[in-house]
Structures are given as C-alpha cells and as structure tokens.
Amino acid sequence: MNGKRRFVTVDVFTDQRFGGNPLAVILDAVGLTAEQMQAIASEFHYSETTFVLPPRDPGHCAQVRIFTATKEVPFAGHPNIGTAIVLARAAEAAGAPLPERLQFEEAAGLVPLRLLRSGAAIAGAELTAPERLSVGASVTSADAAACLCLAPHDIQAAHHAPQVLSVGLAFLVVELRSREALALARPDAAAHQRVLPAIGTDSVYAYVRDEDAGHLHARMFAPLDACPEDPATGSAAGATIALLAALLPGLDADRSWHIEQGVDMGRPSRILGRTEKRGGLLQAVHVAGNAVQVMSGLL
C-alpha cells in the first residue's frame, strides 16, 4: 500500500459523539486491493469500514465497498448513512457541494440516498434499500432462544416465526415478548455456529415492539463476524420494518418507524424508518439517521 490515505470516523444514528455506531470511511481507496482493504477494516475493528472509489457510471456519486472486521459485505445501513454524510461535508468544505440526492454503487446494487439538513448544515441521510424484501428460512423458537441465551417462551412467534430476512444483507430476525427479555439477551457463539451458517446468515437481530407498534427496541449479535454486539444495524432494521409493513392489513399505506438500539450496551442509537405499500405490495423501504464526526487523519 503506497502513499497516505485520508480517513474520517463518524458515529452514526446519533447526534452525540461516542453514541451510535462508529464507522471509518477511507476516502482515498484507489489502488487498494481487497486484501489491503480487509486488513485496514480489521485494524479499525469497527462493525464496518467503507472504502470510497470513483463510480463506474459518472452519473453516480461513488463506488463504495463495505468491509466488516472479517469479510466484505454487499450492503449495510450505517456505512451508507455515514459515508454519504462524510462525502457531503467534505465536498461542501472544498466548495463543491454534492446534490441533495446521491447514488452509491455497491455489490447489492445501486443505493439511493437523500441528504437531510438541520438549517443549512448536513445532519443526516436517508437511504433506500437496494433490494426488495426477501424471506428465507425459519428456525424453531428453541433454536432462536438458544442463540440469544433465552428460554423458548421468551420468543414471540404469533406475528412471524424467527426468520431470515434481507433487503440487501441477511439476518435471522427474532421478535421477543418483552423488553426485559431483550435486556437479558446475549449471544451464544456455539448456538450461532450450529444454527446460522446453514440458513445463510451469521447474525441475529432481536426486537420487541413498544406500546406504539411503530416503535421498536432492538439488539443485534454477530459473534461469528467478530461483532459480539452491534450498536445500530440499519440493514436489519430495514428488513424488519419491511416484513412488519408487509404484514399490515392495509393495501395502501405509508408508515413511519422508530427503532432504538445500542441502549443496553451503552451506545444509544436512533434509527428512523419509512415504508411504502401500494396495492398490498411493499414498494420501498427507507432508513435514516444522523451522524457526528469523531476523528480524521491519515493512514
């Protein structure tokens, strides 16, 4: 790896430093190999690190590659939100502001984003999931409970079974019966290894509904991907609200969602969601949040 590379870190899905989900954005990724990108992501050891490259299509904003500490992934939520905000603020500082709507080229497809402002300042961004909701394998309540070190009666399966969902990245999504059960949950790596690879994922996203059905509390565990717990998981939140919106009885509905995550690990995060449903079919899923810069420097 020749030369110096600029990086910026931001905390995403929060407006407070040291909350939310940290992200490293490598701004000068041209010439880096996939192996070098993986080594850099492993060095930061955040849940994800992004690498910004020139777009293949000049009509798009950038090509963005996303790496966890152990592998490349096709799409993720907080890396898109954070990267859009970093690029927009950098462009404005250089006197070349980006348009309010961006498109990132990623392995899962094109990811449209809309910048969100507080007054004149860029405060956040909203993404549109690159894929329609896909519903994969389901598991028993006993297996889901084992992955979370809970009892089978803590699993709420009346609305949907513990099931693999994706709008670009797959998670086993599990509804729990109570906020108390969510607070007690922790990952069992042996159960994850036994249950998850066979159904095409390495992560469990557990959530519980508040009295307001559009308000969720969530946690995400991925010890098989070197992430014991994730403070905020936009891609899993998007898949979950996509399923919940699809299950709603109305044929035509726009719905807003509010997801709190990271509270139990001391990094509170706030994820905002929107779903659009027409003719009984889900048309689009949007995930939004703020971000604050923490560090910048050179590799």
- Nearest-angstrom CA–CA distance, 109 and 69: 22
Name the active-site residue from 48, 126, 175, 229: 48
β-pairing verdict for 72-73 and 49-53: unpaired
The dihedrals phi and psi of 86, each to the nearest 5 degrees, come to -60, -45
Q: What is the CA radius of gyration of the chain?
A: 18
- Going by C-beta distance under 8 Å and a sequence separation of 6 or more, which residues neighbour residue 198? none
Verify whether residue 48 is a known catalytic residue. yes
Nearest Cα neighbor of 183 from 148, 223, 158 is 148
Nearest Cα neighbor of 41 from 8, 68, 23, 76 is 68
- Nearest-angstrom CA–CA distance, 241 and 275: 7
Q: Please report, to the nearest 10 degrees, the dihedral formed by the alpha carbons of residues 203, 209, 214, 216 taken in order.
A: -50
Supply 32's token pair.
């880096």
- Nearest-angstrom CA–CA distance, 117 and 157: 39
Residue appearing with tokens 């509170």: 268
Nearest Cα neighbor of 175 from 204, 197, 149 is 204
Nearest Cα neighbor of 84 from 19, 145, 152, 8 is 8
β-pairing verdict for 101-106 and 281-298: unpaired
Start-to-end CA distance of the chain, whole Å, equals 10
- Nearest-angstrom CA–CA distance, 263 and 47: 17
Query: Which sequence positions are flagged as catalytic?
Result: 48
